[in-house]
């Protein structure tokens, strides 16, 4: 029977540790600051940004949410980011996705000062991850590795299959897990839409990470006995019998996989809380770097 990897508990531990660091910084008259930019009125984005702001407040990070209309031009967004780059009270900048079609995401990521890129999306920071000398680790992959570490699940020598090759999860996670670091050193396979037989790969894996955005894709017959299953997906599925008219589920068929795997992350309560915790971690780290304390 699977054991639940409790992202809420691990995130709480991370935040307690950060709170102590922030208290020490405040004794030096230094307050970490995070700016979140929200373009448009996507309800899910509003929830995420508000949640991040609340978590900042709980541990003592100064938080500022900047809301802009969906018709904001690419140039105006870049100018806003440049203003935030110059501000001494802001150490971390994030621009919430999804973004309207007129926004060039590469231009945007390049415009953020790499020292304030707490999401870990700037090509410089992604490149540093690839060569094994990171400044900031991309938050969701970082959260996955940290959750495994805090549950004493070693990656060393393990066969890992990642389903999904996005720039915010699949690619950076593969780059991190293959590094010869104390908490990584795995052999990594990435599966995607061009992979001919995904189950043939996942059945050989010690650890399967599902990050593809397809509800309940990973079934019990696709994993081996005792595998560790990490579910990164959050999918909204229509359900006329539900009070809300829908329910949220991950990329993993949780009920079937639970009996076969050794560990599994729930949705919600798994990787989501860890992603936010690592964003806060990166903000504190950015503050220390900018102030010459790290």
Instruction: Answer yes or no: is 73 within a domain.
Output: yes
Pairwise CA distance, residues 30 & 61, whole Å: 10
Q: Are residues 38 and 92 in the same domain?
A: yes
User: Which pLDDT tens digit goes with each residue over 167-189?
Assistant: 999 999 999 999 999 999 999 99
> pLDDT > 90: what percent of the chain?
93
Q: Are residues 200 and 239 in the same domain?
A: yes
What six digits make up the tokens of 249? Answer: 């589920």
| Residues in the chain, total | 294
Q: What pLDDT is attached to residue 248? A: 86
Average pLDDT over residues 107-129: 98
Q: What is the CATH number of the domain that holds 163?
A: 3.40.50.720
Instruction: Answer yes or no: is 82 within a domain.
Output: yes
Active-site annotation, residues: 52, 96, 119
Instruction: Answer yes or no: is 232 within a domain.
Output: yes
User: Which pLDDT tens digit goes with each residue over 184-215?
Assistant: 999 999 999 999 999 999 999 999 999 999 99
Q: Are residues 261 and 150 in the same domain?
A: yes
Contact present, 185 and 179 (Cβ < 8 Å): yes
Q: Are residues 161 and 259 in the same domain?
A: yes
Average pLDDT over residues 260-279: 97
Helix axes 170-177, 139-150, angle to 10 degrees: 40
Residue recorded with tokens 């503050």:
287
φ/ψ of 269, rounded to 5, equals 100, 10
Q: Are residues 235 and 177 in the same domain?
A: yes
Q: Are residues 87 and 204 in the same domain?
A: no
Q: Are residues 238 and 160 in the same domain?
A: yes
Q: What is the CATH number of the domain that holds 107?
A: 3.40.50.10860
pTM of the predicted structure, to 2 decimals? 0.96
Q: Are residues 153 and 214 in the same domain?
A: yes
Pairwise CA distance, residues 129 & 39, whole Å: 28
Instruction: Say yes or no to pLDDT of 119 above 70.
Output: yes
Q: What pLDDT is attached to residue 269? A: 95
User: Which pLDDT tens digit goes with each residue over 131-142?
Assistant: 999 999 999 999
Q: What pLDDT is attached to residue 29? A: 98
- Count how many domains the chain has: 2
* Domain extent for 89: 29-112
Element (H, E) at 246: strand 246-249
| 154 dihedral zone (left: phi>0; alpha: psi -120 to 50; beta) | beta
């Amino acid at each position: 029977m699977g054991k639940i990897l409790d992202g809420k508990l691990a995130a709480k531990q991370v935040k307690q540790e950060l709170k102590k660091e922030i208290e020490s910084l405040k004794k030096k008259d230094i307050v970490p600051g995070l700016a979140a930019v929200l373009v448009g009125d996507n309800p899910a984005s509003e929830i995420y940004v508000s949640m991040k702001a609340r978590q900042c407040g709980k541990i003592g990070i100064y938080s500022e949410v900047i809301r802009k209309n969906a018709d904001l031009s690419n140039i105006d967004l870049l100018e806003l980011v440049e203003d935030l780059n110059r501000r001494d009270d802001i150490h971390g900048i994030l621009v919430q996705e999804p973004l309207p079609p007129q926004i060039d995401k590469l231009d945007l990521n390049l415009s953020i000062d790499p020292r304030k890129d707490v999401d870990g999306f700037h090509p410089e920071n992604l490149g540093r991850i690839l060569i094994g000398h990171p400044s900031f680790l991309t938050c969701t992959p970082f959260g996955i590795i940290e959750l495994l570490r805090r549950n004493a699940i070693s990656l060393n020598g393990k066969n890992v299959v990642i389903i999904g090759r996005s720039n915010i999860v699949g690619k950076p996670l593969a780059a991190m897990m293959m590094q010869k670091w104390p908490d990584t050193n795995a052999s990594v396979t990435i599966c995607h839409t061009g992979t001919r037989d995904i189950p043939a790969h996942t059945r050989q894996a010690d650890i399967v990470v599902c990050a593809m955005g397809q509800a309940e894709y990973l079934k019990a017959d696709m994993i081996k006995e005792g595998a560790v299953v990490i579910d990164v997906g959050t999918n909204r599925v229509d359900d006329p019998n539900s009070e809300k008219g829908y329910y949220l589920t991950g990329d993993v068929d949780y009920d079937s996989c639970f009996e076969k795997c050794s560990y599994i992350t729930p949705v919600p309560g798994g990787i989501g809380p860890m992603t936010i915790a690592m964003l806060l971690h990166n903000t504190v780290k950015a503050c220390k770097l900018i102030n010459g304390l790290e």
